[in-house]
Structure 1
Amino acid sequence: MDIGVLLPTGTAQWGAADDPRTLVGFGRRAERLGFSSLFVNDSLISPRIEALTMLAALAPATETVTLGTAALMPFLRRPVQAAQSLASIDLLSAGRLTVTVGAGFPGRFGRPLYTLSEVPWERRFARLDETVALWRALWEGAGSFHGEILRFDDLPPTTLPSRAAGPPVWLGGATPAALARTGRLYDGWLPYPPDPADYASGLRDVRTAAADAGRAAEDITPALFVSVRIDDDVERGRRALDEYARAAYGMPLEELEKIQAVVTGTADQVLADLRRYVAAGARHIVARLGAVGLSSQRDQLERVADLIPAVQATAQSC
């Protein structure tokens, strides 16, 4: 059972006097506290430290934690260049990179980004799958690639990652099409369903698609992206999480809870909710800390770290 944390790389999560250079120390502290992974978000809409830049800074500063994206949007980058950057981070971290990818979705986090990237919105899912296939070909030393959308002849030698097959690539998404594609093509699944029952049914669909493709269930890591806020005063915690939701997403907590996994309350209440996801099959939890300001983020980091042994024990008993 792995428990990781999303680093607060977005400016909406910082206080006025916060220094973003302390994020590397934040990651080191998480590693010492027992978190097994550090993840970063990717976007052009909200100001933040660029995802791959952050991971490159963390690679030599950490020793054991997995470094991951949640989720990287490949259409924001030239595909061959992205393969080179990802392989470089995998090398710098001695094979600790995990790449979660997504195609974006309608609204402010989707179509406008494609316009900025000068990439067509149409066939975005096919483009995503082909981009990942191209990366994998490059990581294996291929000299050409011929897909339906992406076609390259005479590819030059590129940087090879630490691992022969390259870093694992997970998919974020929970639509029926995303579940099927995860089972057929990807190494892991990182959704954020607000109901553990939906997580369990989605994981069943992923595993069915995997079996139909001749893959084993063990080939796919079942992960979960969840916002977490621990507070001894439940109502105070909800007010703080509402502030975070409005700062990060421009929506109140009650709306965010309808579309994303959110757990809040006392430590015992949060543990109970996380256990429901573990019982539903999640084996790598990525916790987004619901706090504004790096000091508050560090406080939540310590509180969530206290739950790690209990969550891991739950997985062992399932």
Structure 2
Amino acid sequence: PKVLARAATRYDGWLPFLPDPDAYGRARRRIAELAEEAGRPAGAVTPALYATITVNRDERAAEAELEHYISHYYGRSLDQMRTIQAYAWGSAEKCAEWLGGYVRAGARHLVLRIGSLDPEPQLKEIAEVLLPAVRALGPSTTVGSAQS
């Protein structure tokens, strides 16, 4: 609650990595309510999302690649990390539909990390399939990428 209140009253953006679009939507609505109560104009806090995706038509291969990435990055399993962070894997279409849940819940900026130690093979599919599909969900949705 304190983080949401801080975002609502002090910040102009909110960039969580909540693992569930419904929880994201509830938190986004609460921030909007708190901002209004504080006398801020509608839309004063821009909702964003930080998510990790691994794109591969072979869903098992995508999950294995993401598991490998997560275990090397965090020293934890995907099962452990996906309870606290947003992750998707599988085809570009499946990942786009999953991201669509966040867009429908109010996300207007998406920062995507590719969950792979070798992300380059995924870039074409992400650029040609996933990004257009997500952008089509909302005219004011922007998508960027981060690699760490």
SS at match of 1:241: helix
Shift of 1:213: 1.2
TM-score normalised by structure 2 residue count: 0.89
Partner amino acid for 2:115? G
Whole-angstrom distance in 1 between the partners of 2:12 and 2:44 = 6
Please give the root-mean-square deviation of Cα atoms over the aligned residues, in Å.
Answer: 1.5
Match of 1:305 in 2: 127
Query: Could you give the per-residue CA deviations for residues 285-309 of structure 1, whole angstroms, max 9, x where no partner exists?
Result: 00011001xxx22222332222222
Query: Could you give the per-residue CA deviations for residues 240-275 of structure 1, whole angstroms, max 9, x where no partner exists?
Result: 000010111110111111110001111111111011
User: Which one of 283, 287, 301 corresponds to residue 112 of structure 2?
Assistant: 287
Which of the pair has the greater relative contact order for Cα pairs under 8 Å at 6+ separation?
A: 2
Q: 1:316 and 2:139 equivalent? A: yes
Q: What number of residue pairs does the alignment pair up?
A: 140
Whole-angstrom distance in 2 between the partners of 1:243 and 1:183 = 37
Match of 1:227 in 2: 52
Q: Within 5 Å, give how 1:98-113 maps onto structure 2.
A: none
Match of 1:178 in 2: 3
User: Which one of 185, 203, 207 corresponds to residue 28 of structure 2?
Assistant: 203
SS at match of 1:218: coil
TM-score normalised by structure 1 residue count: 0.43
SS at match of 2:39: coil
Match of 2:144 in 1: none
Q: 1:193 and 2:15 equivalent? A: no
Shift of 1:219: 1.6
Q: Within 5 Å, give how 1:42-81 maps onto structure 2.
A: none
Partner amino acid for 2:135? Q
Whole-angstrom distance in 2 between the partners of 1:305 and 1:180 = 36
User: Which one of 61, 72, 86 corresponds to residue 247 of structure 1?
Assistant: 72
Shift of 1:317: 9.6
User: Which one of 42, 57, 63 corresponds to residue 217 of structure 1?
Assistant: 42
Whole-angstrom distance in 1 between the partners of 2:125 and 2:51 = 15
Partner amino acid for 2:124? E
Whole-angstrom distance in 1 between the partners of 2:42 and 2:15 = 15
Whole-angstrom distance in 1 between the partners of 2:89 and 2:108 = 20
Identity %: 39
SS at match of 2:83: helix
Whole-angstrom distance in 1 between the partners of 2:79 and 2:103 = 24
Whole-angstrom distance in 1 between the partners of 2:110 and 2:121 = 19
Maintained 8 Å contact 2:93/2:133:
no
Divergent runs of 4+, >3 A: none
Partner amino acid for 2:138? A
Whole-angstrom distance in 1 between the partners of 2:74 and 2:140 = 36
Partner amino acid for 1:262? Y
